C-alpha cells in the first residue's frame, strides 16, 4: 500500500473510532427540552399518571422513550414518567437525580 493511502486509511479509522466513542458517551440521551404543544401534551399525560405534582424537567428522546417528564409529587418524591410518541405512559420510576443532572440509572 502506498504511503498516502495508508495515511488516509489511518485517518479514517481514527475518525470512526472517536465518533463511536463520542456516541457511546452520550448514550443516546439528547437532553433536548420539550416545547410547545408536545410539552403541553407530555406534561398533561405525566401529571395525570402521577396524580399531580410539579414539573421539574421535560425531555425529548431520553432513556428509550419519545418523551420524559420529571415530576416532584406532593409528598416530595420525584418520579420520571416515560411516554411514547402518542403520549401514552410506558413507564414510571423513582428519580433520585437533581433536575438537569445525569444519574446512574
The answer to whether the Cα torsion of 62, 63, 67, 69 is positive or negative is negative
Residues 23 and 58 in one domain: no
User: Which CATH number goes with the domain that contains 41?
Assistant: 3.30.505.20
Domain housing 85: 36-94
**Which residues does residue 58 pair with via DSSP β-bridges, in sequence order?**
69
Per-residue pLDDT tens for 51-97? 999 999 999 987 789 999 999 999 999 999 999 999 999 999 998 76
Euclidean distance between the first and the last CA atom of the chain, given in angstroms as a whole number: 47
* Chain Cα centroid distance, residue 25: 13
Residues 57 and 9 in one domain: no
pTM confidence score: 0.64
Tally of domains within the chain: 2
Amino acid at each position: 500500500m502506498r504511503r498516502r493511502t495508508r495515511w488516509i486509511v489511518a485517518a479514517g479509522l481514527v475518525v470512526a473510532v472517536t465518533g463511536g466513542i463520542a456516541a457511546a458517551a452520550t448514550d443516546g440521551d439528547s437532553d433536548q427540552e420539550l416545547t410547545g404543544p408536545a410539552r403541553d401534551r407530555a406534561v398533561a399525560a405525566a401529571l395525570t399518571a402521577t396524580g399531580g405534582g410539579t414539573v421539574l424537567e421535560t425531555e425529548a428522546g431520553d432513556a428509550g422513550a419519545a418523551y420524559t417528564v420529571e415530576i416532584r409529587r406532593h409528598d416530595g418524591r420525584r418520579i420520571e414518567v416515560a411516554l411514547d410518541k402518542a403520549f401514552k405512559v410506558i413507564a414510571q420510576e423513582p428519580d433520585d437525580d437533581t433536575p438537569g443532572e445525569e444519574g446512574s440509572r
